[in-house]
Structure 1
């Protein structure tokens, strides 16, 4: 597993500089970058951030709070990678730059708190259970996440060849989605296990420069999934970190079921739904094709893809918690477009995006597979 490929790799001496030197400063990335489109500043573009990281690494300019803010603002959407003619590896570059940044500047308390809790999914689940009960009594400012659903017991198997990654914050929020996975699996004669010792994927740690914790979580997941022949992910934001941590083949569950689409039968569903394709799904996992193919199998379904705003919903891992006003500004054009479509529900394949949307609308927000399980012709 190469350092360049691993999102949590601690940068070796000279590695960050080598990554920044890939950039030819052409500027083709600027129109695709959500933060550049939002502020129209060079320092809020991939090219600007690469130049800043390079200057810091060469010690030609000193780090400043303003420069740190520009690096902090990056959403990690990696739209720039898709259009880059020089093949700049912006994902590893961003992690390396933030690792260097974290060596000299500690993360804020909200970021540290989120990292600590997500590395302890059991404790996080219990805390969110308390949050669910207190939610109606809390003022709006104390509701950073939507109200979790009531807990549910699932008939969990620990021994099937195909295993499901549950994540951290997704565990208490996605019990209905986990049940939907079991129904879809049964429809194609696939048993799905949910190993109980798995932990957070470590993406939010790595993307904030905390590579040590990210690597420790990767090791824990390797031990948890040692008996699986295939591991499925439900969150596009978790997929890359898990896939690079495990020797086991790791698939987005949407790709997995799209490959078995002939075994799925859906009833006619005359409904208009809105589809949001997360940045990580489009630019990293690339399971957007599978999503469209699966939804196209539902007779009568009308699908409207959301493309408003700046190219990103603004959730960006923990940024919806650490920069809530800024994250909401990225989200609002998509919510406005959603409302204008008259769609009954909003589908999105990343847990962070769904939580962010659900905190801004009363409409139903679901993973595409949860909706598809509802449409099964049983």
Structure 2
């Protein structure tokens, strides 16, 4: 029955599902439908499945659960939907009910518990750093973590300490969970870039995981607790910056202030930044969450275009998603690897000397499949940042060329 002729539903999930007009415009942009070619592996199919479960018209079972589990949560469908279906909200709600019915795996529960215990997580990452080379290849699920400290790291102010009055613009920085151990170089780069742009960073100590990992696994209570914790941690901050595009949407829904992708902020103040030329060919991966959640793709392209002689190759082969999908690269590494492989093949033939990607999960997933350096774009931008006494007026002008 067409959505327009259906009766209004009192069930919120059914109400979300009933907005779907079954036009099928989501199918061409859905990674899982592109890989499988099955209606049940499409957004339209999953919407119908979740609605049928909610109305008790079909019995839940392992096959239907698998179709829901396979969704990568990329948001491509929501971006193109002419009816404005809130697919992410529907997916989270459906997985919440699914979890109530069947529970969660031990691995999922372990990951959820680990990311909210930063000391334990940091200790395990440190152990992994020291022993990774000794592990069999099948257990090397993540790239080697970076060194504990970055040379020349500029300290971030503790937002909880009393600070002198200043007219310098400031922004709070959201760190995240696994990013705390893996994104030290990116935080170093952001601090240097913000200093050059006249922005002072603060980093509240009481912040925690964004909760996206919990929400997309159906742990709605856990996600709500983390959201409340971050709301309190960032209270009073008008602007909060994200480094990982995968955390952006969850954090934006949790805090009262404005959530801004760090790349967008730097782009808005790019007249304060001058970059040295770099005759290099770099590959750029644009994560699903950067395209569909943080919206910083245009800003990133403009920033890279300010580096003279740089050639940027955007890699986009395959199904529209690298397959990392939060923790799916750990839960189902074989399937995740199949989504990643076309991108790695394109990277290998691109002639690029490094790969840039703005989401921590994508970088970990892609970095574990290539020998090329994989960086946050901010790291590369900071490398090319010109000091005032060495600036060449021409170096700040747009000069990068792009190729696909």
Structure 1 runs of 4+ off > 4 angstroms? none
Mapping 1:175-186, distance limit 5 Å: 175-186=184-195
Match of 1:156 in 2: 156
2 CA distance for matches of 1:106 and 1:13? Answer: 26
Q: CA deviation at 1:228?
A: 2.3
Contact 2:172 2:204 in 1 (8 A): yes
Q: CA deviation at 1:249?
A: 1.2
One of 29, 33, 56 as aligned partner of 1:32:
29
Is it true that 1:354 corresponds to 2:351 in the alignment?
no
Mapping 1:1-378, distance limit 5 Å: 14-152=11-149, 154=153, 155-159=155-159, 161-378=170-387
Contact 1:307 1:334 in 2 (8 A): yes
Q: CA deviation at 1:225?
A: 1.5
2 CA distance for matches of 1:372 and 1:38? Answer: 35
What SS is found at the alignment partner of 1:251? strand
2 CA distance for matches of 1:321 and 1:292? Answer: 30
How many residues are treated as equivalent by the alignment? 367
1 CA distance for matches of 2:44 and 2:142? Answer: 33
- TM-score w.r.t. the length of structure 1 is 0.95
Asked which structure has the greater CA Rg, the reply is 2
Match of 1:8 in 2: none
What SS is found at the alignment partner of 1:242? helix
User: After superposition, what is the alpha-carbon deviation per residue over 1:169-222, rounded to whole angstroms, capped at 9, x for unaligned?
Assistant: 001111111111110011011111122221100001001110111111111111
Contact 2:240 2:259 in 1 (8 A): yes
Contact 2:77 2:87 in 1 (8 A): yes
1 CA distance for matches of 2:22 and 2:236? Answer: 46
1 CA distance for matches of 2:134 and 2:227? Answer: 37
User: After superposition, what is the alpha-carbon deviation per residue over 1:316-356, rounded to whole angstroms, capped at 9, x for unaligned?
Assistant: 00100001000000000001101111101110010000000
1 CA distance for matches of 2:273 and 2:50? Answer: 49
Contact 1:121 1:200 in 2 (8 A): no
Contact 2:236 2:257 in 1 (8 A): no
